Amino acid sequence: MIYLQLFFSFLQIGAFSFGGGYAAMPLIQSQVVTLHGWLTASEFTDLITISQMTPGPIAINSATFVGTRIAGPLGALTATAGCILPSCILVTLLARIYLRYRNLTLIQGVLKSLRPAVIAMIGAAGVSILVTAFWGDGAVLINTVNLRAVCIFAASLLLLMRFKMNPIQVMVLAGLAEVVCRWLSYLPVTGPWIPLL
């Protein structure tokens, strides 16, 4: 039964995640966290992080991760097959239709109207992940914010936007910053900066 649930959950994600991996994140969160409860919100954030660090699309990496976690290797194959099946079918059909009717105004209009919806889905997923990273699963209050996460986020954003640093290097530096902060928090040193760690 769990294999059918995994297959059909990721079949829906694969069928309706227009706009690529980032647009699939709200759908994945809806199926995996909200509907089935296979992961918590913080585990979902970890899933997105792991999916970003490994090669391949986010949706497929997520399907493989969740499938493995819930039902082992067979679950990973089932969830991944469900995720890629709609894409294989739809891309084959759409490629034929697009090549034949690509100059029609109706087709161009549909493609233009999908772009804002995709941007909204990416934005919603980004805000959801940001809230989970800064406040965890608790209430969104100023006194419960994770200052270390906010500082790492701000530094990473600065490195990416201002200095145009390679995203892989930024991810490595962010991971190292977390390790250093954790290590410093265990030192028996007192000072006003310790609560930030």
Which parts of the chain fold into alpha helices (H)?
2-16, 21-29, 41-53, 58-101, 105-135, 147-161, 167-185
Ranges assigned E (strand) in the chain: none
Q: How distant, in Å, are the alpha carbons of 76, 79, 94, 176 from that of 87?
A: 18, 14, 10, 37
Is the confidence at residue 76, as pLDDT, over 90? yes
The pLDDT score that the predictor gives to residue 197 is 52
pLDDT for res 92: 92
Q: What gap in Å lies between CA 148 and CA 193, rounded to an integer?
A: 11
- Report if pTM > 0.75: no
pLDDT tens-place string over residues 128-158: 888 888 887 766 676 778 889 999 999 999 9
User: Is 146 in contact with 133 (CB distance < 8 Å)?
Assistant: yes
- Alpha helix (H) residue ranges in 102-146: 105-135
Band of the pLDDT at 192, cuts 50, 70, 90?
A: low
Region of residue 139 (phi > 0: left; psi between -120 and 50: alpha; otherwise: beta): beta
The pLDDT tens digits for 28-52 are 999 999 999 999 988 998 888 888 7
pLDDT recorded at residue 138: 66
The 10s digit of each residue's pLDDT in 159-180 is: 999 999 999 999 999 999 999 9
